Structure 1
Amino acid sequence: MAKGFYVSKLVAFVAIFFAIAAVATIIALAVVYSNEKSNKDSESGGTTSETITTRTTSSFQPGTGSPAFGPIWDRYRLGKHLVPDHYDIDLRPVLTKNDHGLYVFHGESKAHFTCKVIIEHVVIHSRKLNYTEEPILTDADGNTISAKKHFLAEKTSYLVLPLNELLQPGKKYTLHTKFVGELADDLAGFYRSEYVEDGETKIIATTQMQATAARKAFPCFDEPTLKATFSITLRHKLDYVALSNMNVLNVTTEQWQNEPWQITKFEKSPKMSTYLVAFVVSQFKADGDQLIKIWGRKKAIEDENQGEYALNVTLPILEFFETYYNAPYPLPKSDQVAIPDFSAGAMENWGLIIYRETALLYDNRESSINNKERVLEVISHELAHQWFGNLVTIRWWNDLWLNEGFASYVEYLGADHAEPTWNIKDLTVPYDTHRVMAVDALTSSHPLTSKEEDVNTPAEISAFFDSITYSKGAAVIRMLSSFLTEELFVEGLRTYLSQFAYNNTVYTDLWNHLQAAIDKNNFQLENKIEDIMNTWILQMGFPVITIDTTRGLVQQQHFLLDPKAVVTQPSQFNYTWIVPITYITRTSLQNHFWLKQHSDVHTPFDLSGQGNNWLLANINVTGYYRVNYDDGNWDRLLQQLNTDLSAIPVINRAQIIDDAFNLARAEIINTTRALETTRFLTKEVEYMPWQAALNSLSYFTQMFDRTEVYGPMKAYMKQQVTPLFDYFKNKTNDWNIRPATLQDQYSEINAVSMACSYGIRECGELATRLFNLWKNSNVNGIHPNLRSAIYCEAIARGGEEEWNFALEQYRNTTNAQEADKLRAGLACSKEPWILNRLLEFSLDSTIIRKQDTVSTITNVVNNVIGQNLAWDFVRANWGKIYQQFGGSSSFGNLITGVTKRFSTEFELYQLKQFKEDNQDIGFGTAIRTLDQAIERTEANARWVNQNKAIVQEWFEAAVKP
């Protein structure tokens, strides 16, 4: 009742009703406004004093269009209502099983943060952590903030602490937590790895936080833009060593459960994202000095010296990037650790890079040249991230392409600096450009970036860790650097890194700095850099450039492997690109031209009346596009290859093959035209053209190795590869010495592998002889370069005895690279029951490590006999496979592998049925790959129906005397 006057009950009720409604409306509008304003302020680094009461409102996400009502913990994005300043993390991994048979870690955390808006809940990421005491919130003076009982939002991975009072903007608070987590062998967060040394099983506690697994190790604001500093403390037994991002600050001891334990405290880190936090507790040994150390198993580091190569190349690469970025290495040390069980190839944690053993360790006696190159490139990739990614970090995962694409490009520059004789920069074309075009030519591909609000859940984030992100990202950045010049590109890059150090960016920030460098140097570029690059970043796919040399007409169109496919993804550019075209003719040097619309007439492209003059476009494949020509120009190019192939650059010899086969699949040129590009290979000894042919013809193998076409195809390839096999037999003195250059060694490997695959008798006998010498003497005299090919051929030609011998060697070797070669060889058996045995082993982590499960299954698929066996195995075990690996960024490789031969209506039906049957289980990070597999199968079926007879006829004619 109100004081001072009287009204009736009815009038009072009506008045109160409308008053409440009016106030509620005002409050709702004010809340929406405050949400919008607080978000805009936080985006720009500002603060606001508007109130957010989480009884009725939630964290607003930029651009989502979502209503402002509903609890914060129902959303996957935190926003910036609470911004972390610093974390004190204290962890005790217990590397023996507890009474329940589990390995666990005990943790204490203090998350210090600043409040940006009035709010009445603390919401912080947490997953699979059990809180042993009620979380406590204190203010800057140490006063406890009254709170209700905490709860966990499992779906969105939050610890939620409801408060009895409101937090105030601009004030600092600390969340104190104590918790226990499992050190599972799931390869994510803070997890467990195992190995056997001197007959003893040893346990490692290690981490993999990217992208959303730091919340499994400690409660945190687990988003890349929410950077903070970290002080890490690790408690462990005395015979273990602890590593983290920073150097050790001090070491003390304590008694815990009647045993002495060591307390290792690390220096405070610079401001960084949670996904870059790392720690390792192990009995590893190190090779190196105060700045650089290579860590691994004692036997690998001290006995076998497997860390020496990584140590030798790390410093030159670091020094290269210091010069390249014009910035000193940001941290006081660089530890690099080889872990036996690791889901990715490596992870760029700041100052503590973690690798698979195969990506860091190298043994001169057991490792191949390919192993050596991989170690070099992965180290270079991860060191590149120490600046680009770690020092300057993307704001959100939708721009992952910039982070990974850039590192995938400059890894070749760092590697080239460390091994200047390898000519390694050219290998980006077969490794990245040509490989990713096969995916990007599907309608189920995706643009490099997307709207931030479209990427929220951990599964959506993980799906971005694909070949488009890494390899297409590398290809378009390489193209950008090429048309700008490397000098100008680096100038813009340096100012970008300088301005945004210890901060976050979006990709357009890089464009702005490149444009500033362009303007400063008066570089002639007809379009703004953003306008050019947006055509490559904001729409999927790439163009095929068709050049008619009889009229000088140049045209572009969206290249699709399946010409019948319907593109449903809209594009603001209508699938037209601003294309930098480089070209030469038989009589002229390199020139360039910009194609900015669908078609243009360009006079230098008109070769009419010039006899046997030809034109070749996309020199050294610096552009991310394919090239087609009129029939006359195709004829003249092939004539040149068959008479004097040296007139065409080696990368472009590979390009001609790769483009032609893909153009044929897309029904742009005849399949026989593509096959004609392989005739000159009898004169070719360079690696890249042969590798392009192998990659291209692998599609023919996949489509036809279960049909009558494969007989004449095999005979033709035997005919083509015999000169290469003989060439390297002579060059290597009957396979006893190795060629001098990297790519010549790769050519030798291809010569042996193809000769054995296509039935050259001498190769098969060589494989059997070398394998039996090893089996009978227990001394492996097979050179590491040739082991993959020899193991596969010998096991294929042998039986159970050879397979069991290889399995025994696999289980006993302590060299991870040798283990990979043997594991691949085991999949070459011709016995179905043996292959089924290997498939069963793939899910037994006591035999095959979890990190190798997917590749073991796809190895079996590579064997034509194993195709159906592996497909049946995957379908029968999908629930178990998904549970263990569905969140892995490499999970899509499984779907790609088991479906690559699918080319019939029945296989298409099976694939669609598989998708329907497993909707309830799910597909995790492989969902996009599954859609791509369906699209590819439809295209394969159509292509086989149209081309089977033509291909068989061509191969039969090509092998006639």
Structure 2
Amino acid sequence: MGKVYYISKNVGLGLLALAAVALVTILALSIAYDKEKARNRGTSGDGTGDSTSMPPTTSSTPKEPWDRYRLPHSLVPSSYNVTLWPRLTPDENSLYIFTGRSTVEFRCVKETDLIIIHSNKLNLTDFNGQLAKLTSLSEATAPAIQKSWLVPKTEYLVLQLQRTLAVGVMYSLHTEFLGELADDLEGFYRSEYTEDGVKKVVATSQMQAAYARKTFPCFDEPAMKAVFNVSIIHERDMIALSNGREIATEDAVVDGVPVRTTTFEPTRRMSTYLLAFIVCDFISIQGVKNFSVSLQVRIWARRKAIDDGQGEYALNITGPILQFYERYYNATYPLSKSDQIALPDFNAGAMENWGLITYRETALLYDPVMSSTGNKERVTTVIAHELAHMWFGNLVTVQWWNDLWLNEGFAMYVEYLGADHAEPTWNIKDQIILYDVHKVFGIDALASSHPLTRREDEVNDPAQISEMFNTISYSKDALRVFSEPVFARGLSSYLNTFAFSNTVYTDLWDHLQKAVENTPGLHIPHTVHDIMNRWTLQMGFPVVTLDTRRGRITQKHFLLDPDSVVDRPSQFNYTWFVPIKWMKTGVEQQQYWLLKDTGEDWVLLNTNVSGFFRVNYDLQNWDRLLSLLNTDHQVIINRAQIIDDAFNLARAKIINTTLALRTTTYLSRERDYIPWESALRNLDYYILMFDRTEVYGALQAYLKKQIQPLFEHFKKITNNWTRVPAGHTDQYNQINAIEIACSTNVEGCRELIKGWYRQWMENPQHNPIHPNLKSTVYCSAIAFGGVEEWDFAWKMFKNATLASEAARLRSAMACTKAPWLLNRYLEYTLDPSKIRKQDATSTIQYIARNVVGMPLAWNFVRAKWSYIFQQYGRGSFSFARLVNGITTRFSTDFELQELKKFKEDNVHVGFGSASLAVEQAIEKTTTNIKWVTANKAGVLTWFTEEST
């Protein structure tokens, strides 16, 4: 049974009275809609209009508090009462709107005659010439508002008072407002979908990082935690959801419209970016889990998705993962419910709103018949990631966004623990090497990288905040230097000490230090602060070099381009305390901490890849390792890391390129997924650099030689492709075998996939392709086919009822080699009725990934930059990936000059959250040019000789 709430008669009457007041208020706003829209037009956009909307002149150097992006420290909110009424049908101007009112109670902690609160793109109601009403909650009278105005640049509502607020006194600020329920995927927005031929609209929200201010005026910084009392007015045939449980409903008729007001329990003390508001006609499946308290667990989605059983898997794993985290954190789940909802339109993969987690459909829904193993793994890891945030991020929150990694890096690491608990046979913890460590190495080896923790003054406006949601913050795994038991004890102490409040990274170091000191027999050579600060306060990572001839081990800052200039100073001179796991004559040794040079004759370092560093050896030791790979490769347990280290050391000119390529000659005998995936990702760089040159033919011939035994292996163990490999990662490696075999024209591969696709085209109701293989088969068949194959995929895409199937087809259609089809597809990204806004930038990236599509996508983005930036550039977390995606092949002087000109030509437009990505694209292109120039001839010779 779920937890039951009993409400006394007096409390119940009070709630109904509040709801009635809300209805009257919202009715008044609705009736006055046209009048308010005209009157406040100047207050919502450019700051022009009547006198109440004109901010003082700003300069490049902020002189007034309202010109600064950070709130003053004079007011601290304690609670909000928020009522919202979204309209799910357009008004006479074809706009979807919402109206609402909010009252925030706050304490004055520092004398001030200003109230500065966030408000963005809201039409505020005029109260006798002012944009808000101020009331004192003590016996003293509140000062009168002398003047009020909006500051669009810093997104503030400013109230100038006739006298100062009294320190220690509580006040309330009341606002009433109207906003657009736009389709921009930010703040309170609308999502649309079609079900049974009927268009349906959902009102939903995304507040992270700085979008709560688009929904109601609020103190929109993570440290400004408060309790939120929420009511939502909605159509009676819809349901309303928010962070808390529903505690009351009341039906009424407003302006001839029958509506229902749903009131929710007060939230726990929390940050504005974790709020969620949803109105929809979705249905749910639910269960009640017995934790330390009874907990209601529900999965919400479109009716058809739930009816088709697509939410069952998420429901089944949520309880076990939450229970695991309760034990791991040694902290009770702090809420009375756990709602998770799959949305048709959602910009991020998922969002950890406290008690109401929102997801893309592909991240929450799983169909046991049509979904692949990869889809199932994605659902598991994303759920584990978001549930990890319920404690780390939500219960305890970073003080400011410069420490974002403390939220996201931790959740990215712990998601593997939660997913491993839910699916222990997958051995998913091994894949952290591929999914995170190798991925972040590529970014953190650039001179334009940044530390995990940045200075607060480097992260101010919303675009800079969004820019922090990058690979460094998510995947740089600085926390893995301690053993699990010690880390868990320190973490538990940290969470219980700072519950419902905010921290900075040093608070975590303090509690990890206590855990170390309280662990008998554990000794580390330096304090946690000394060790961890080197990994968080300076960017990059070291390459550790072992010279077995001299018995010496050293470190230095690793840069992909050793000639690049690092202009970010470091108080630690780019040295690190490095945890060395090492193997000598096949036996693992005790961990050693490296700072200074030492003298040991080790053979293999970083054996379990627990350290965030690369490893180099003297040539004799490299030769011994390569010989071992070619004779008894399974003796080396970290083969994937050896391959990845070698290729990147070669790009950094630390070892010879042919030495790196030699790490792949044993692959014809390799059957494990992780080493193969590591090799293919590194060889993919060679494909990107050379698939427009004469090197490509020899490269393809070499790949064909290496992949053919793996293709034959899977053909045999699957009984000619009629069975699914038993192992979780074997299923992934089967995909690699088919994809590379078909691209290199291994005999029988192309005929196989074209036959499967043709069977499907002839009978669209029966798809003979196994879900695991669909992405590869769709892409290859469309690449080898023409307009008929493409148009069939488009038809199946538009009719798909499973989000993961639609995603596979959307990606595959970018594989065509027909330029006119690719150009048509690029144009589709501008039309939300064809490609959803959430998918537009990733679709352009897919097209750019195609060697034929790359120049088309580059030209398209340059021509449409103003529009693309307006739609996605100011705050989209995925926007930076667009710039990285379209420039990933750039490796000529001409392309570098085009990129620099693109930057110069669009300074007036801006780059928003992709500003750093543009700088990194220029740096990577420069590095690519140098590498290709230095290595093209030698690489061609090597591939030619080894492919025979």
With normalisation by structure 1, the TM-score equals 0.90
Residue 145 of structure 1 deviates from its aligned partner by: 4.2
Matched, 1:854 2:879: no
Aligned pair in 2 of structure 1 residues 803, 587: CA closer, same or farther (>3 Å)?
closer
Q: Give the secondary structure class of the aligned counterpart of 1:619.
A: coil
- 1:952 maps to 940
Q: What is the match of residue 407 of structure 1?
A: 411
Instruction: Say if 2:342 and 2:364, in contact at 8 Å, map to a contact too.
Output: yes
> Aligned match of 1:140 in 137, 140, 152?
137
Name the larger-Rg structure: 1
Within 5 Å, which residues of 2 pair with 1:390-469? Answer: 390-469=394-473
Within a 5 Å distance, the mapping from 1:728-877 to structure 2 comes to 728-778=714-764, 779-877=766-864
* Matches of 2:709 and 2:222, distance apart in 1: 54
Question: Any idea what the Cα deviations from partners look like across 1:809-851, whole Å, max 9, x if unmatched?
Answer: 1111111110110011101111000000111111111000111
Q: Cα offset for 1:601? A: 2.8
Is residue 536 of structure 1 aligned with residue 535 of structure 2?
Answer: yes
Mapped partners of 2:587, 2:715: distance in 1 = 38
Q: Choose from 98, 102, 117 the match for 1:105.
A: 98
Whether the 8 Å contact between 2:142 and 2:165 is mirrored in structure 1 is: no
**Residue 33 (structure 2) aligns with:** none
- How far apart, in 1, do the equivalents of 2:511 and 2:656 lie? 45
* Aligned position for 1:577: 576
- SS of the equivalent of 2:796 reads helix
Residue deviations 1:80-109, cap 9 Å, x none?
211101000000000000111100000010
Partner SS state of residue 164, structure 2: strand
Report the alpha carbon displacement of residue 118 of structure 1 after superposing the two structures with TM: 2.1
Give how far 1:141 is off.
5.0
Query: What is the CA–CA distance in structure 2 between the aligned matches of 1:732 and 1:326, rounded to whole Å?
Result: 45
Coordinate RMSD, CA, aligned: 1.3
Partner of residue 37, structure 2: none
SS in 1 for 2:589: strand
State whether residues 462 and 888 of structure 1, in contact with CA within 8 Å, keep that contact through their aligned partners in structure 2.
Answer: yes
Q: Which amino acid aligns with 2:326?
A: E
Q: Which residue of 2 aligns with 1:942?
A: 930
The secondary structure found in structure 1 opposite 2:113 is: strand
Does the Cα contact within 8 Å between 1:187 and 1:342 map onto a contact in 2? yes
| Aligned 8 A contact 1:133 1:179 in 2 | no
Does 165-174 or 351-360 show the bigger shift?
Answer: 165-174
Shift of 1:931: 0.5
1:156 to 154, 159, 183: 154
Partner of 2:340: 336
| Letter in structure 1 aligned against 2:412 | S
Question: Does the 8 A contact of 2:581 with 2:589 survive in 1?
Answer: yes
- Cα distance in 2 for partners of 1:604, 1:696 equals 29
Which amino acid in the other structure matches residue 240 of structure 1? M
Partners of 2:287 and 2:315 within 8 A in 1 = no
Deviates more, 1:315-324 or 1:570-579: 570-579
Match of 1:697 in 2: 683
Aligned to 1:709: 695
* Structure-2 residue corresponding to 1:477: 479
- Structure 1 letter corresponding to 2:124: Y
User: Could you tell me how far 1:945 is from its partner in structure 2?
Assistant: 0.7
Q: How does 1:46-195 map to 2 (within 5 A)?
A: 70-134=63-127, 135-140=132-137, 145-195=143-193
Superposed, 1:478-557 pairs within 5 Å as: 478=480, 480=481, 484-522=482-520, 523-557=522-556
8 Å contact from structure 1 (residues 136, 145) kept in 2:
no
CA displacement at 1:195 relative to structure 2: 0.5
Q: By how many angstroms is 1:854 displaced?
A: 1.1
Q: Please give the per-residue CA displacement for 1:609-665, whole angstroms capped at 9, x wherever unaligned.
A: xxxxxx11101211000001111111111111111111111xx11011101100110
Output the CA distance in 1 between the equivalents of 2:384 and 2:747: 41
How many aligned residue pairs are there? 875
Alpha-carbon distance in structure 2 between the residues aligned to 1:604 and 1:144: 75
Within a 5 Å distance, the mapping from 1:559-708 to structure 2 comes to 559-597=558-596, 600-605=597-602, 615-649=603-637, 652-708=638-694
Q: What CA deviation, in whole Å up to 9, does each residue of 1:566-622 have, x standing for no partner?
A: 11111111111111111102343333222113xx232343xxxxxxxxx11101211
- CA drift of 1:120 comes to 1.5
Amino acid at match of 1:946: A
Give the Cα–Cα distance (whole angstroms) in 2 for the partners of residues 260 and 534 of structure 1: 59
| Structure 1 unaligned residues grouped into runs of 5+ | 1-57, 59-65, 606-614
Instruction: Give SS of 2:575's match.
Output: coil
Matches within 5 A, 1:871-890: 871-886=858-873, 887-890=875-878
Q: Does 1:319 align with 2:307?
A: no
| Separation of aligned partners in 2, 1:803 and 1:604 | 58
- The answer to whether 1:204 aligns with 2:192 is no
SS in 2 for 1:167: coil
Give the residue type in structure 2 aligned to 1:861.
A
Cα deviation per residue 1:860-894 (whole Å; 9 max; x = unaligned)? 11111111111101101000100001021111101
Answer whether contact 2:548 2:600 (CA < 8 A) is retained. no
1:429 Cα deviation after fit: 0.5
Q: Which amino acid aligns with 1:477?
A: L
**SS at structure 1 position matched to 2:304:** helix
Q: Determine if contact 1:112/1:175 at 8 Å carries over to the other structure.
A: yes
d(CA) in 1 for partners of 2:563, 2:136: 64
Note the 1:270-419 alignment, pairs <5 A.
Answer: 270-290=268-288, 291-302=296-307, 304-419=308-423
CA contact (8 A) 2:581 2:588 kept: no
2:65–2:72 Cα contact (<8 Å) kept: no
CA distance in 2, matches of 1:92, 1:829: 46
- 1:103 & 1:133 partners in 2: Cα distance? 22
Tell me if structure 1 keeps the 8 A contact 2:553–2:600: no
Is 1:902 matched with 2:900?
no
Paired residue for 1:256, among 242, 254, 257? 254
C-alpha separation in 1, matches of 2:71 and 2:847: 43
Local SS of the residue matching 1:254: strand
Q: Deviations over 1:104-148 (max 9, x none)?
A: 000010011111122222211000000123211111159664223
Structure 2 counterpart of 1:760, which letter?
A: V
Using the alignment, how far apart are the partners of 1:745 and 1:811 within structure 2? 28
Q: Distance in 1 between matches of 2:878 and 2:217?
A: 26
* 1:633/1:330 CA distance change after superposition, 3 Å: same
* Structure 1 range deviating more: 527-536 or 112-121: 112-121
Cα contact 1:227–1:272 (8 A) shared by 2: yes
Q: Which residue of 2 aligns with 1:3?
A: none
Shift of residue 477 of structure 1?
1.2
Contact map agreement 1:133 1:177 (CA 8 A) in 2: no
Contact in 1 for aligned 2:143/2:164 (Cα 8 Å)? no
| Alpha-carbon separation, structure 2, partners of 1:286 and 1:590 | 52
Structure 1 contact 294–337 (Cα < 8 Å) conserved: yes
1:836 and 1:367 map into 2 onto residues whose CA distance is: 30
Distance 1:366 1:412 in 2: 25
Could you say what secondary structure the match of 2:285 adopts? strand
Q: TM-score, normalised by structure 2?
A: 0.91
Match of 1:34 in 2: none
Name the CA distance, whole Å, in 2 between partners of 1:404 and 1:814.
Answer: 31
Looking at structure 2, the residues matched to 757 and 198 of structure 1 have their Cα atoms a distance apart, in angstroms, of 39
